[in-house]
Structure 1
């Protein structure tokens, strides 16, 4: 049966009255994801209500030669105006609340849930667990069905002037059993510096599957898991990956499949769910089958499990699902050369300074 999502709620006309009522209901719900950031909003409004009127008043008063009293009156009027505009704009809600209403109705129509923001997800993929202030914005998820999670993931690195906010759009797809940690790094979204992913893995873990597939993806698999990768990525699966996910980075961690992109998985766009439906019927269906039948023969109880008559040792059989420790995580890249150059440069500098002080 083909996967379908009812995307009509994402495009239906929404009235101002509906938006206002929805906003009031959600703010009254008490759910954490719907609580407004009142402190942050007050701080921003207060900043603009002080800085902007002060700059304008100082400029006008200096040019016109106004008295202190007249200048203060102008400053007060401008400050009140900034606050009134901010309150009215926040009260109307605008396109932001229309977008939230449509996404909420879409989730409800498809047996899923929606929150404008959720806490840091517990996933182990390449984009997760980095930086601080990690959260999922415009979050749609479900406890049923293969497409379990979709949203905009955000985290912050650095501090002060070096602070930077990173954003990714992702989909988390539940498999039927664990697989070795494998990554398909899409070449279509790479930069001139290489992979756009925030986590790098040792390049000696790269595996070539040959032909057209290698022109679209760089495949990483743990050491000695090359034959396992050939079992998982059958020719028909590789063809569907090229057709449907060539613009995504695809990662397999434990019993999850992740799709990563910067721009192409907005939960408020019907095209996102149409694309995920096609992926579910092609890539996901085959990956769920692979994960159900795969077993890692490096695990003792699986290697010793009796095989059906006529089945060779490396053929997939139904057996207790487990992945050996060496296959659970890819080895991350270590930047030894930059570290060595920095340490060597520091010692060279100290030696030079000591020599000059003689």
Structure 2
């Protein structure tokens, strides 16, 4: 089968203002989020701050309270830095969109409330995906993008670091298998797979990955991850984490992954093409012998025990934040109850 021809030229050019304006029009970006609108707002804000600073300089207020000048200049610089950060991210998405459209693929600037079966997607109450590219070529059907957690109030416990992902379809459902990276944790796996088997592998593969599978499905995992396939996983995905769940394969990469760079996008597509081909060959005929005769007649290829690893994974960031809030609350409570006596004794009072 011939390899998929990919035109990387749009990623090799910088995005100009005309490209950005056209992109925002095509993606129907709301007015209050558009580049020109925000640029005008920042310029007006900077002008107002400088005018205020000039007015304060003509009075004696700055001589009495020079800290005001620091606040004015600081807020102006903060607004400028925030706009530059926004503009850089926008220009990168413009390049990715141009690349997708050039190759006849679908593109979405922002997706919310997606229902992907991967563990890091299901544990987040509210998530948002940016710069999502989807190709439907049967030789390489894929979706890729950057996932961000969003939270309000009680949802903060599900926040996790942003991560990049590549989603590939599988021809058949398989047991839930996670390849957690020992050297670089990308998605939360703490608490994932309670009561599951953590298989000890051999050679270099065991140094890089930790294989988590439902108890009783160790042989099935080895049926999928043959030595030659594991070798290619090491070659192409050494810095990634991998998950097989239902009829989907996910490759997770750090949130800082730059898909707008030609070399990064090319490597991601090579990985997508080869992983799709190799994993499809290993899973196409998979059937779970433990699923039972009734499940087999119903077309269910994986038994209930093998469909999901226990737990959802706990974000270390969320744990640290929760512990910080608890400690802060305890400190405030202690200070409220005993603070008076403490300060009295500290100052040597009666």
For 2:160 and 2:55, the matched residues in 1 are separated by: 34
Aligned to 1:268: 260
For 1:190 and 1:119, the matched residues in 2 are separated by: 24
User: Deviations 1:79-136 (Å, cap 9, x if unpaired)?
Assistant: 9xx7xx98xx79xx95555433321221012221222222232112122134454111
- Alignment CA distance shift 1:46-1:104 (3 Å): closer
Aligned to 2:143: 149
Kindly indicate whether residue 323 of structure 2 is the aligned counterpart of residue 331 of structure 1: no
Kindly indicate whether residue 112 of structure 2 is the aligned counterpart of residue 119 of structure 1: yes
1:90-169 aligned within 5 A: 95-145=88-138, 146-157=140-151, 159=153, 166-169=161-164
For 1:65 and 1:334, the matched residues in 2 are separated by: 54
The offset of 1:244, in angstroms, is: 1.1
Kindly indicate whether residue 237 of structure 2 is the aligned counterpart of residue 245 of structure 1: yes
- Asked if the contact 1:299–1:323 (Cα under 8 Å) also holds between the matched residues in 2, the reply is yes
For 2:125 and 2:296, the matched residues in 1 are separated by: 44
Aligned to 1:356: none
- Alignment CA distance shift 1:65-1:249 (3 Å): closer
- The DSSP-based 3-state class of the residue aligned with 1:332 is coil
Length-normalised TM-score, structure 1? 0.68
For 1:255 and 1:201, the matched residues in 2 are separated by: 19
What is the aligned counterpart of 2:249 among 257, 264, 267? 257
What is the aligned counterpart of 1:179 among 174, 181, 196? 174
- Mark the runs of 5 or more structure 2 residues left unpaired by the alignment: 320-325, 327-350
1:1-358 aligned within 5 A: 1-12=2-13, 16=16, 19-20=17-18, 22-29=19-26, 31=27, 34-38=29-33, 56=53, 60=57, 61=59, 62-63=61-62, 95-145=88-138, 146-157=140-151, 159=153, 166-190=161-185, 197=189, 200-202=192-194, 204-263=196-255, 265-301=257-293, 320=299, 322-332=301-311
For 2:7 and 2:211, the matched residues in 1 are separated by: 34
For 1:248 and 1:165, the matched residues in 2 are separated by: 17
The offset of 1:252, in angstroms, is: 0.5
- Matched residues, number: 297
User: Deviations 1:179-200 (Å, cap 9, x if unpaired)?
Assistant: 1110000112049xxx854763
For 2:51 and 2:173, the matched residues in 1 are separated by: 61
- Alignment CA distance shift 1:131-1:52 (3 Å): farther
